[in-house]
Structure 1
């Protein structure tokens, strides 16, 4: 057993859990890259092994979805949808239902992080103009984006990894995971709209329903049509094509061919930090999986935990997603876990995604929502989120476990 590999793996995943290394300003991406670099410089992993461990298919599809989201943003779609949500002539609870439905639906075909990043600022402005407390709505955006993204293979990064690992069928995944995702959205609405912690926030507000139209939102319809066509093409690729990565990159090339949208504008919105994080983690976990003694140890440990039991998998997903994060957790389990059946992979996708609603640190989407609120002068504390996130997650996981048990 190569103890340097073990030490680097431990140091990296402790950093994932803490979000940094104590005393340093480094973040998770930097930690993963330094871990990979130590393994390469020490000779514990050679260049060929490092390249072989990086899942370029997953990175290619993730890049495609980021570029696709950039196309939507450039068309003004996110600004327009945010404005439409806040101008809905609905009661406070009706507005909440609209927020959850729209954010959950968008996250099923786009990355959840992008939806939260784009919608939250405009939503806060609209909700405050209605004289409503924006905090429950911001938390609803994050929770709905997480729950909705569980429905499809392209809803979030961990689903993409799981899809490429198991070469899962898009339609079968939707049938298995769409119901827990939909139930999760209903639970988000029930807990936030009628739960004891937030019920008062939805009391009618005198003169609070009228909303000034404000600045008109310009929607570039041709650019939006191109984005919608590209989205349909991505879904078709996942349904009908085996080489998803190459055909996905073809969509990137088509989107780059534009008379009005420069390459720097398209690629400028790509989350290169996330892609770098993936590369670093792929190399670190690949080194663990490549050492026979280490891999056997982890597989025996996970086998002893009976990870093939959906209840155990749900519990492990809840614990791991809210410590090291759902992406590092899924990457580790896929590399070092048991023999994965499609049914068990569906469970891993649903459980790891819904678990992200538990605490602020459970999902990048949660962190984005809270930071966007802070930028607007709205403070959402750890406890504020937990009072909603914990019941939402536990109830959602219970229903998801019951559904997954029907297929295992």
Structure 2
């Protein structure tokens, strides 16, 4: 009875998350509360065993760091200066926006990056009388592919990194970044080709762009230099935390608190906390409780057994199946709840004799991040961009996005399959 109850609660919550009829955080928190009320687990077990507070603290810290840095105008300055440097040329602007978004998504996180760049791109395309759709779609693609490259770039990667201790920031750079770079270049070539006619400019419209004083966006106060310094220190800490023997969450928290202390006189802490995406944080908390319910009643164990049975326990088949399931499923629903459900599934594979799980983790990370490009609801960054675009009366049609996104995902998964097979599975088979 408990299995049926926990599964029904999870499915109903998933449907509400997909349809977005009710706030996602409210949906997941409601689901977690129902699991408590029905006695699926105790409050203590939920808080101690199932909610990953390391992930919550890491997300919160990054939100604080970016919120303070954003106040300095640094990100707006970079975007506008680049647009002026390419003199408003449509294709170079598209490529430049894509590269900035990809780098930002890799080094910060993709949701924050699109929040920073989309309003600027919308303003520039309006000034240059260019269609916004190609730029918005490319930003979404860039954010998800760029976010796949690092541990902090996309929430699914953060969750995987927190679940598996030895998968560090450097590990993601070594194992995932190479294929992400390849996919990024292919994506740039494809979008440049597909939108080449749409972005043909009939007349030069750069006068208004040139008139924008990019430096006016910079608040040249001590906070600007403090933000840049702390951000560099924090990212450096991420890169070398394995050598420093300091946890990723501890580094992020240290950076956030240090910047709060340094900027307190110039910017009230209350203002920064208002910018924190509390809905996202509580969505994660509720999500962990929902997945915890499935784990508590044994659904996760059964799912892991079903995957192993479907591949006859074959290591190669299992690894590639995880990649494609993750990619296709993440295109239909947000990749965050999917990865939250899959993490304990992959962990369960150890009990079936699969000791070397790293290639499976990379398959899960790549599938979830790349699959997010398929539809407008495939990843959190997509939803954010769609919302910002609609607010600017540049609505992104769901079907039109699908026509570009789904083929890109299939191409991405094929390339990722080749990459994983050649880099990990062939060497593994040779050893066996």
Match of 2:410 in 1: 394
**SS state of the match for residue 343, structure 2?**
helix
2:31 match: 35
1:382 corresponds to:
398
Q: Corresponding residue for 2:321? A: 312
For residue 260 of structure 1, give the secondary structure of its aligned residue in structure 2.
coil
Q: Which residue of 2 aligns with 1:17?
A: 18
1:121 and 2:112 aligned: no
Q: How does 1:155-170 map to 2 (within 5 A)?
A: 155-167=153-165, 168-170=167-169
Deviation at 1:131, TM superposition (A): 2.3
Q: Matched residues in 2 for 1:79 and 1:170: separation?
A: 27
Give the secondary structure class of the aligned counterpart of 1:314. helix
Q: Is the 8 A contact 2:80 2:120 kept in 1?
A: yes
Q: Is 1:289 aligned to 2:295, yes or no?
A: yes
How far off its partner does 1:173 sit? 1.4
- Hey, what's the Cα distance between the residues in 2 that align with 1:126 and 1:35? 42
TM-score where L is the length of structure 2? 0.87
Q: 1:23 matched to which residue of 2?
A: none
Q: Does 1:252 align with 2:253?
A: no
Alpha-carbon contact 1:357-1:390 (below 8 Å) kept: yes
What is the CA distance between 1:43 and its match in structure 2?
Answer: 2.0
Residue 322 of structure 1 corresponds to: 331
**Offset of 1:272 from its aligned partner?**
0.6
Change (3 A) 1:343 1:129: same
Aligned counterpart, 2:46: 50
Distance 1:398 1:231, change over 3 A: farther
**What's the offset of the Cα at 1:28?**
1.8
Separation in structure 2 between the aligned mates of residue 92 and residue 50 of structure 1, nearest angstrom:
51
SS in 2 for 1:362: coil
Deviations 1:144-199 (Å, cap 9, x if unpaired)? 1111111110102111100011121222210111122212222221221102xx23
Which whole-Å CA distance do the structure 1 matches of 2:246 and 2:294 have between them? 28
Unaligned residue ranges in structure 1 (runs of 5+): 21-25
**Residues 362-405 of structure 1 deviation map (CA, whole Å, 9 limit, x = unaligned):** 11211221221222221321122122212222222222222222
Cα contact 1:87–1:126 (8 A) shared by 2: no
Question: Does the 8 Å CA contact 2:41/2:296 hold for their aligned counterparts?
Answer: no
TM-score (norm 1): 0.92
TM alignment of 1:32-181, pairs within 5 A:
32-52=28-48, 53-90=50-87, 91-167=89-165, 168-181=167-180
Structure scoring higher RCO (CA < 8 A, sep ≥ 6) equals 1
In the alignment, does 2:352 pair up with 1:355? no
- Pairwise CA distance, 1:215: 5.2
Q: Which residue of 1 aligns with 2:429?
A: none
Corresponding residue for residue 235 of structure 2? 235
**SS in structure 1 opposite 2:85?**
coil
C-alpha spacing 1:247/1:193, structure 2 compared with 1 (3 Å): closer
> 2 CA distance for matches of 1:398 and 1:184?
11
Q: Report the 3-state secondary structure (helix = DSSP H, G, I; strand = E; otherwise coil) of the residue aligned with 1:322.
A: helix
- In structure 2, stretches of 5+ residues that fail to align are 351-355, 426-432
Runs (4+) of structure 1 exceeding 6 A deviation are: none
Q: Over aligned residues, Cα RMSD in angstroms? A: 2.0
Q: How many residues of Structure 1 are paired with residues of Structure 2 in the alignment? A: 400
Displacement of 1:242 in angstroms is 4.1
Q: Is the 8 A contact 2:373 2:405 kept in 1?
A: yes
TM-superposed CA distance for 1:227, in Å, is 2.7
Match of 2:272, SS?
Answer: helix
1:318 and 1:15 map into 2 onto residues whose CA distance is: 21
Tell whether the 8 Å contact from 2:6 to 2:294 is kept in structure 1 after alignment.
yes
Query: Equivalent residue of 1:201, what SS?
Result: coil
